[in-house]
Chains A and B, each alone.
Chain A
Amino acid sequence: MAKAGSKLKIDGNGKPLWLVLELTYRCPLKCPWCNNPLDFDELKNELTTEEWKKVLRDARAIGSLQLGFSGGEPMLRPDLEELVDEGNRLGYYTNLITSGMGLSKDRLSELKRCGLKQIQLSLQHSNREKNDIMVGVQSHDEKMAVIEEIKAQGFPVVLNVPLSRYNIEAVDDIIDMAARTGVEYIEFANIQYYNWALLNRAALLPTREQIEYAEARVNEARKRLGNKPTIYFVVPDYFDGRPKACMNGWGAIHLTIAPDGSALPCQEAQVMEGVDFPNVRDNDLGWIWRESPAFEMYRGDAWMKKPCVDCDEKEKDFGGCRCQAYLLTGDATNTDPACSKSRHFDIIQSAVAAARITSGPQMPLVMRSRGAINGKMRLIRP
């Protein structure tokens, strides 16, 4: 996930240090904020085990070190253990990013044996009913059992709690639950508005008051509990007046491979229509990373316009997120509208203002599910 201030202690030197494999877009849950593509169900040709292994080898050869298995739900791939084993053998630091669904005791011990280093589990609410309504599937009990099992097998527990209007009031309860069960880390991930989250933004976006409330509760808990658990909370770009340093810059240190082998500078990049993302099935990964037009497109700052090009903060945030600029202003070379210096800043401000008036229980959400979206309408627009 795009995140402000990842602690990078090594200069990328042009290497894709962070590799994320989205093994599948299939998933048993239906999170209405999911950042997977809206047309995820049209993707049928996932890479095979051997193709993924080749990606692992090729990415190591160009300098990747951190490896995340994500999706969709990576547990749906029966070859996950085999891929973790290969990743570990090649010298990666292996991370699993999972909803916990299907993470049985047996698979967990096999993953441990294969050298998996850490597991990040997503949880939506401390209350069972509310959690299950939010993701559209009974899953809370299973997730809680998985937390126990992760601990039992000697992994630290890292909880990812995607924050929206629907669970922000539960920050205290979630922290208490985590402290009680011995969870080591909680990341309150303020939802970022792409794909399903953008579709449902009017219903999900918290108010400024709610963000302030959550931040205050987190600070209070840090004082009270110290680092048990360690709590991460970053004020989201919508409320900050500055964009996030998305991916540390396009094509700088991050490489995502989508289930069908498309190589992306960031998980969200497929939202950009008209960019031809190269595929590992057709192209050499070294060429893809170093030379392909898609990765060169917004690398460095040659693409920048005003105000970014003259701005003394451009080394800090690289002009923000290209995908957000594209989605909200129609042009990826615009300044990210989350920046108060952007002439499109009103787009963000009005969404934040609207969060106050549209809040209410009557707002319906579109669940992430097959056939929920008609993405073809635009093609027949006169």
Chain B
Amino acid sequence: MPLTTLDEKPKKPQDVETTHPMEKYLRPDRLPHIWCSGCGLGTALNAYCHALDDEGFGLDDFAVVSGIGCTGRVAGYVASDSYHTTHGRAIPFATGLKLANPEMNVTVFSGDGDLFSIGGNHFIHAARRNVDLSVICVNNYTYGMTGGQVGPTTPKTARATTAPYGNFERPFNLPNLAASAGAVYVARWTSLHVRRMKKAFQKILTKKGFTFVEVISPCPTGFGRKNGQGEALDELKSYKERSVIRDGADPTKVDIKMDPDSDIVVGTFVDKEKSTYSEVKEQQLAGKV
């Protein structure tokens, strides 16, 4: 039996008993959140909280740093120390935190535009340095916050308010970019792969070095509707149909295309060991190299 039928009026929020199972990691006083219904951001945040819980993180054990965008608002909903910085600068800000306080477990949670457009330079340099940061990018193929402009991950030919004739540019393949810049862990999941996403988050929360997870996520408002992807549910269905899990796949071969019949390759693509920036520095300062 369905939980509610269509002609039954949905209950008003105050009539429903509500405690989120992950409430301890969230700021309930900041709810309801600003995200559209159908947005994939809640799913990603929820998976992140479950990952924290499974790893036994206390609120003073980790910090979340975001840039600006819909994804950037994540920092404001997490109950730990959190920082909503400027557009594109989450990674250098987080690097500063980490270098000044190496004890801090730092996650950068931000959008595709924030991390790879205006902040792209910082991303590749942090990965090259192998500074110990966990980076989560929610890739919705667009600039959600500012109304759906083209971005560095918008597939070629896709439409956006600033690509009315279809995008002329080729997008970044984020896992490939992260891997070639030096990330020690690279994975991609969609917002449909909640359990696997959570596992990947657990991994990056505990693994040393520059680790990266891309979460493909629907933005029905800014991208989906303009691109014939329908509503969020339709987009999720397309993830189900299109995604193929290929752990260990060559990151150079995981581009995402607009073609609805093309695969979205997901999985863990890189998981390797390499001394971090701080470790290298310690060794050199101790004269061991």
A in complex with B: no
Residue ranges of A at the interface with B (Cβ–Cβ < 8 Å): none
